[in-house]
Amino acid sequence: MIFEILTTTFMGGIALKAFVKKKGLATNDSGKIQRIISLSGLNVKDGKETLTTQLIRKKSYEWGMEYAYRIPLGRSYDDYLAKQRVLEDGLNNRRQRISIADLKSLQLDENIIDNLKTLWTNKLTERKEIEIIFDGLLKIRVYNEPLPLQVPFEPGVNWSVPVGVTRDKNTFRYHDFEKIPHLVTGGSSGYGKSTFINSMITSLLQSQPDYVSFYLIDLKGGVELCDYESIKQTVSIAYEPEEALTTLQAAYDQMRTIQNRLRFLGKKNVQEAGIKERYFVIIDEVGELNPAEAVGTPDRKLKEECQKLMSQISRLGRGLGFRQILATQYPTGDVIPRQCKQNSDAKLSFRVQSATASKVVLDETGAELLPQIKGRAIYQTADKREILQTPLITSEIIQKTLAPYVVEKVEKEVIVLEQAEVEQPRGIDTIIIEEI
């Protein structure tokens, strides 16, 4: 019996070695990365010397491996980012994709060849994803599993909304509008901006239906946000730039009203005053309000006016309970007003077409290197940058969430008027003249 086990194991070992040799399977990503770096010209020639990208350490995590490098003088993080695709393709080269961990998991029994074939077939359909970050050292993370292609919607609590699933043990990341009030999102057409906006609005309606108000501007012909037109939480909605000015003006006036109220109460911000209402100004395709693209003087003036209001809302909104979300599929030049960009500490970028476009949304390159997967995005805050898969919300969930809040148009106008009255502060210098 012992003899039998020993011979099977021995024969299995020989078969495994032969298979690996035949398929040319290298099992070492570290060596491969080093070779790709060298072959793609990332090392630097200094006279006779070659300054190399030096591996400092490698560490194994649950999700995969992290390799930390010191980069040579004369190279930047961007140089390595530009080679991300080369690195990823090199690591996914079909001839060399089985790791030692994979081989260890194999059963060394009489079915060894069949087991190997199954492993080989599975491996051919799997793709390793990598991420490159820089924090003084260049870190290349090689993930065992790709992120899921679809993630279901999960609502947030209070003022947090779902952003997506991260590689960090597939945990859901939420964006908290109380901590970071404004957000910019961008990406080429069809990668998931509108879907993200829909899950954000739905989440807010589920978590804060009594305190959330929306000022919506949908300049994509009304196809994306029209579902929210008839809910009581939508104070104003616009589908054309002229209407956008009215909506922004309404938001701005409301913001000033709250400012007066806080002044009257002697409080610094809504949190201190215990004011629970929050106002979300959401503009889908902010590029349509770019004065640089205006046709004629009146159009330019209108768009300049809109941008001025957007800048004011982003500058003053934080303490007054105003949150601004700007979305664009044309991330070029000044499409997002500079002040809005500076006041938005959170950015969510889906795949874009160029490094320049990535810089417009994120202030950094990288979003052009995202895989061509819908919903795949980079979420960046002041201290963190993560790749994640945003949730895919279904229209059934949206409609079910909206249903209790749908009101008739006339009824809605009364609500808006009533709201304006409630918000109107009774300042000490208010004069009330009554007819007797």
Ligand X SMILES: Nc1ncnc2c1ncn2[C@@H]1O[C@H](COP(=O)(O)OP(=O)(O)OP(=O)(O)O)[C@@H](O)[C@H]1O
CB of 290 to ligand X, least distance (A): 16
Contact flag: residue 331 with ligand X (CB under 6 A): no
Region of 125-133, 188-196, 287-295, 312-320 interacting with ligand X (CB under 6 A): 188-196
Is 189 a residue that touches ligand X (CB under 6 A)?
Answer: yes
Of 280 and 322, CB closest to ligand X: 280
For ligand X, the closer of residues 115 and 166 by Cβ is 166
Site residues for ligand X, window 130-159 (CB under 6 A)? Answer: 150
Rank residues 34 and 198 by Cβ distance to ligand X and give the closer one.
198
Binding mask 337-376 for ligand X (x = CB under 6 A): -------------------------------------xx-
CA distance 394 to 199: 9
240 in Cβ contact with 219 (< 8 Å)? yes
Beta strands 278-284 and 212-218, pairing class? parallel
Task: CB nearer to ligand X: give 80 or 191.
Answer: 191
Enumerate the known binding-site residues.
187-194
Pairing, β 64-70 against β 138-143: antiparallel
Report in angstroms how near the CB of residue 389 gets to ligand X at its nearest: 6
162 is a contact residue toward ligand X (CB under 6 A): no
Question: In angstroms, rounded to a whole number, what is the distance separating the alpha carbons of residues 9 and 224?
Answer: 62
User: Total residues contacting ligand X (rule CB under 6 A)?
Assistant: 16
Between 74 and 190, name the residue whose CB sits nearer to ligand X. 190
The answer to the question of residue 390 lying near ligand X (CB under 6 A) is yes
**How far apart, in whole angstroms, are the C-alpha atoms of residue 382 and residue 407?**
40
Q: Do 349 and 338 meet the contact criterion of CB atoms below 8 Å apart?
A: no
- Report d(CA 11, CA 48) in Å as an integer: 50
Selection from 196, 186, 173, 126 nearest residue 348 by Cα:
186
C-beta atoms surrounding 371 within 10 Å: 14
Q: Report the candidate in 268, 212, 232, 257 with the shortest Cα–Cα distance to residue 413.
A: 232
Q: Does 392 bind ligand X (CB under 6 A)?
A: yes
- Window 57-96: contact mask with ligand X (x via CB under 6 A): ----------------------------------------
Which segment (24-32, 174-182, 193-201, 308-316) binds ligand X by CB under 6 A? 193-201
- The answer to the question of residue 194 lying near ligand X (CB under 6 A) is yes
Please list every residue from 215 through 244 that binds ligand X, using CB under 6 A.
Answer: 220
Instruction: Give the up-direction half-sphere exposure of residue 373: CA atoms within 13 A in the CB hemisphere.
Output: 21
CB neighbour list of residue 153: distance below 8 Å, 6 or more residues apart: 162, 199, 202, 203, 391, 392, 393, 394, 397
What lies within 8 Å, CB to CB, of 149 at 6+ separation is: 373, 375, 389
- Residue 49: CB atoms within 10 A of its CB come to 8
Does position 187 bind ligand X by CB under 6 A? yes
Q: Shortest Cβ contact with ligand X: which residue?
A: 375
**Interface residue with ligand X, options 84, 213, 329, 349 (CB under 6 A):** 329
Query: Applying CB under 6 A, which part among 109-117, 200-208, 337-345, 385-393 lies near ligand X?
Result: 385-393
Could you list the residues that contact ligand X (CB under 6 A)?
Answer: 150, 187, 189-195, 220, 329, 374-375, 390-392
